[in-house]
């Protein structure tokens, strides 16, 4: 599935099952909530915190998909073509950072 196809599929789902999009600011708050849930899984899986009984059944991939879903909703609502935006973002990063990280001794010391 391409990013464009994902944007179209989310839009179709919202119009078919979700009735309409939540307001942009509501979706922004939901995105923040979903990122927090992703952070919870990450810190328990890769950080020092341990899982709680209430964490049973949480799934890293599902939490990432929740973040992506709401981000796509926001893009659809605000008229952002994520394919174009992502391509431009890669170009920006490449232009700005093509040599920056190669020369960073801090990164070289943490390469796994």
- The CATH number of the domain holding residue 44 is 1.10.287.1080
Whether the predicted pLDDT of 112 surpasses 90: no
Are 76 and 7 within 8 A, CB to CB?
yes
Whether the predicted pLDDT of 105 surpasses 90: no
Instruction: Kindly state whether residues 73 and 86 are assigned to the same domain.
Output: no
Determine the longest span between alpha carbons in the chain, in angstroms.
52
What is residue 100's predicted lDDT score, i.e. its pLDDT?
83
Q: Which domain holds residue 17?
A: 3-80
Over residues 12-44, the pLDDT tens digits come to 999 999 999 999 999 999 999 999 999 999 999
Instruction: Kindly state whether residues 76 and 88 are assigned to the same domain.
Output: no
Of 20, 37, 38, the closest CA to residue 76 belongs to 20
Structure tokens at 66: 């929740």
């Amino acid at each position: 599935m391409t990013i464009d196809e994902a944007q179209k599929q989310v839009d179709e789902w919202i119009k078919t099952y979700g009735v309409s999009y939540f307001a942009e600011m509501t979706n922004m708050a939901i995105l923040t909530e979903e990122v927090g849930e992703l952070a919870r899984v990450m810190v328990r899986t890769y950080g020092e915190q341990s899982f709680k009984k209430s964490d049973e059944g949480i799934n890293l991939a599902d939490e990432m998909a929740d973040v992506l879903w709401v981000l796509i909703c926001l893009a659809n609502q605000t008229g952002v073509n994520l394919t174009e935006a992502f391509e431009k973002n890669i170009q920006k990063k490449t232009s700005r950072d093509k040599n920056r990280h190669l020369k960073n001794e801090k990164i070289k010391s943490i390469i796994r």
